[in-house]
């Protein structure tokens, strides 16, 4: 997923039992098909090259990390065989209960970026209305949270925003600043994992 053309769109498939979505770039080209294996004790995410699901380019696997936070480690063909990830995204436990926050970590266990929810009240409204029968199907149009990726110097890099849609199935990633060339995969995989988790939260 190098040299990605923004904006990138994530669109969830609501006709399958799996938790899966397609990622397309600005030209409409599919750059990844993300599938979460269901009924697993640990998260196991497969990222295919396209929606034919013939080739797995990456895997994301859950594990515990520092301060009891759950880490989601990234593997490709070369690193998975060696049992060593090329990075991870970490959800900041208690801190993320009110306002989602994640850290993107490189292969040397150093933090590179932070992903933060811009307005926690949007998530609260989404969750509350989601508990009301019938009205719950309209939350995808009324409440649309957004998340910002910031580097260690405080520069904004990418915004991920939920788009108005039934069942909250569409998201758009827009580029705000530059990132290191070899960080594309880590940042994109982090946002893919994050949106699987946040969409499940409501």
pLDDT, tens digit (0-9, with 9 covering 90-100), for 5-43: 999 999 998 776 668 999 999 999 999 999 987 766 567
Output phi, psi for 65, to 5 deg. Answer: -130, -150
Q: Which of 86-95, 102-111, 125-134, 193-202 has the highest mean pLDDT?
A: 102-111
Burial 99-122 (b: 16+ CB within 10 A, else e): ebbbbbbbeeeeebbbbbbeeeeb
Mean pLDDT, to the nearest integer, of 77-92? 80
Radius of gyration of the chain (CA): 16
Instruction: Write down the mean pLDDT value for the chain.
Output: 82
Residue 158: pLDDT band (50, 70, 90) is: very high
Please indicate whether residue 192 or residue 129 has the higher confidence score (pLDDT).
192
**Quick count: other Cβ atoms within 10 Å of Cβ 155?**
13
Q: And the tokens for 106?
A: 């490189």
Q: What is the pTM of this model?
A: 0.84
How far apart are the two ends of the chain, measured CA to CA in Å? 28
Residues in a beta bridge with 77: none
Element (H, E) at 4: none
Residue 78 has pLDDT above 60, yes or no: yes
Residues belonging to the chain: 202
Output phi, psi for 37, to 5 deg. Answer: -65, 130
């Amino acid at each position: 997923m190098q040299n990605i053309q923004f904006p990138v769109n994530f669109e969830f498939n609501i006709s399958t039992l799996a938790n899966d979505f397609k990622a397309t770039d600005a030209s409409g080209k599919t750059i990844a098909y993300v599938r979460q294996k269901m009924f697993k004790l640990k998260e196991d995410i497969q990222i295919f090259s396209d929606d034919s699901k013939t080739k797995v380019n990456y895997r994301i696997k859950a594990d515990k990390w520092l301060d009891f936070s759950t880490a989601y480690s990234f593997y490709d063909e070369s690193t998975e065989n060696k049992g060593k990830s090329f990075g991870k995204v970490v959800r900041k436990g208690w801190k993320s209960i009110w306002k989602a926050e994640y850290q993107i970590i490189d292969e040397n266990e150093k933090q590179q970026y932070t992903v933060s929810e811009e307005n926690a009240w949007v998530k609260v409204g989404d969750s509350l209305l989601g508990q009301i029968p019938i009205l719950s199907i309209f939350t995808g149009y009324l409440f649309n949270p957004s998340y910002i990726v910031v580097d260690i110097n405080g520069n904004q890099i990418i915004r991920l925003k939920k788009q108005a849609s039934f069942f909250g199935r569409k998201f758009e990633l827009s580029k705000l600043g530059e990132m290191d060339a070899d960080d594309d995969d880590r940042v994109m995989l982090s946002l893919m994992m994050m949106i699987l988790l946040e969409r499940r939260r409501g």
